[in-house]
């Protein structure tokens, strides 16, 4: 296969993948999981996966044994407002939708095995590459399409230490980029972070659960402007504030290295 036809095939597959990611939030069959599952949650999940996934990968955004009671309480709170199964097998829409989360999207997308081989077979999503439950980034994202906002419940594990006993600023920035970037993708399709401004207001205790809330400020052509704040779960303490600019891209932007 020539270099050019490689690129064409990659572009097609990547385009399908990104489209599929965007369609995750409009899945009618995504059902809520309300009970408190045990450590082997992925085996028991009832969440319907999008058709672009060829088999069931591990969904990291489902509860595991490391989740604190506060993390579970908030998960139940938002999950109970997601699409739920009503009587006679019908689904009733709720304002929120949980976004599934995988460590290697390419591998599981249609054509992704091929794609991941020619790009980087060992590539993993940064925030989902530590398998030990609770060690690093434990989080789940919910999106509210009507209000154009996202909520992420985030529990920071012991591997994310920065100042003693507190979360590293880079880990917080990573989660802000992750949440706002996912939100921007849901709103605008394929994007890249062009600008991220962060103000750290109070340290986040290691092991604590916090809320990361993201909301759309405005969309102007290719630009999606998003605001974000990290707070304690009762909202009384502001940990971090941020604004971000995302630019819509063609998949060819990724293929030619920007």
Ligand X SMILES: CCCCCCCCCCCC(=O)SCCNC(=O)CCNC(=O)[C@H](O)C(C)(C)COP(=O)(O)OP(=O)(O)OC[C@H]1O[C@@H](n2cnc3c(N)ncnc32)[C@H](O)[C@@H]1OP(=O)(O)O
| Residues forming the site for ligand X (CB under 6 A) | 17-18, 21, 105, 177-178, 181-182, 185, 192-195, 223, 245, 247, 249, 253, 258
Cα 81 to Cα 6, 31, 75, 92, 97: the distances in Å are: 44, 10, 10, 10, 8
H-type helices in the chain, by residue range? Answer: 3-23, 41-44, 69-79, 105-108, 112-118, 169-188, 251-255
Catalytic residue among 59, 76, 177, 234: 177
Pair of tokens at residue 122: 């060992």
Choose between 21 and 60: whose C-beta lies nearer to ligand X. 21
Pair of tokens at residue 229: 């704040």
Instruction: Write down the residue that tokens 């303490």 correspond to.
Output: 237
* 8 Å CB contact between 141 and 98: yes
Please report how close the Cβ of residue 151 comes to ligand X at its closest, in angstroms: 16
Q: Which of 160, 157, 162, 139 is nearest to 214 (CA)?
A: 139
Residue nearest to ligand X (CB): 181
- Vertex 104 angle, CA 131 and 37, to 5°: 50
Choose between 218 and 236: whose C-beta lies nearer to ligand X. 218
Cα 119 to Cα 22, 71, 112, 192, 254: the distances in Å are: 22, 36, 10, 18, 11
Choose between 8 and 194: whose C-beta lies nearer to ligand X. 194
Choose between 72 and 192: whose C-beta lies nearer to ligand X. 192
H-type helices in 24-168, by residue range? Answer: 41-44, 69-79, 105-108, 112-118
Q: How many whole angstroms from its chain centre is CA 53?
A: 16
For residue 177, indicate whether it is catalytic. yes
Please report how close the Cβ of residue 251 comes to ligand X at its closest, in angstroms: 10
The SS3 of residue 65 is coil
Choose between 89 and 258: whose C-beta lies nearer to ligand X. 258
Kindly list the catalytic residues.
177
């Amino acid at each position: 296969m020539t270099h050019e036809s490689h690129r064409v095939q990659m572009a097609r597959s990547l385009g399908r993948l990104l489209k599929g990611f965007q369609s995750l939030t409009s899945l009618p069959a995504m059902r809520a999981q309300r009970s408190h599952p045990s450590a082997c949650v992925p085996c028991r999940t009832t969440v319907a996966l999008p058709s672009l996934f060829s088999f069931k990968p591990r969904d990291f955004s489902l509860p595991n044994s490391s989740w604190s009671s506060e993390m579970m309480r908030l998960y139940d709170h938002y999950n109970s407002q997601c699409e739920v199964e009503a009587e006679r097998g019908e689904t009733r829409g709720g304002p929120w939708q949980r976004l599934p989360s995988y460590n290697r999207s390419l591998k599981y997308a249609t054509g992704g095995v091929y794609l991941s081989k020619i790009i980087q077979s060992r590539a993993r999503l940064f925030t989902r590459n530590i398998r030990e439950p609770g060690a690093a980034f434990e989080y789940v994202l919910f999106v509210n399409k009507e209000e154009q906002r996202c909520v992420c419940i985030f529990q920071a594990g012991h591997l994310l230490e920065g100042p003693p006993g507190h979360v590293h600023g880079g880990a917080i920035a990573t989660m802000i980029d992750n949440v706002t970037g996912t939100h921007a993708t849901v709103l605008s399709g394929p994007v890249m972070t062009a600008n991220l401004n962060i103000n750290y207001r109070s340290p986040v205790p290691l092991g604590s659960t916090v809320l990361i809330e993201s909301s759309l400020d405005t969309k102007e052509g290719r630009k999606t402007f998003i605001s974000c704040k990290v707070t304690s779960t009762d909202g009384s303490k502001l940990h971090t504030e941020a604004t971000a600019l995302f630019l819509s891209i063609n998949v060819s932007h990724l293929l030619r290295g920007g």
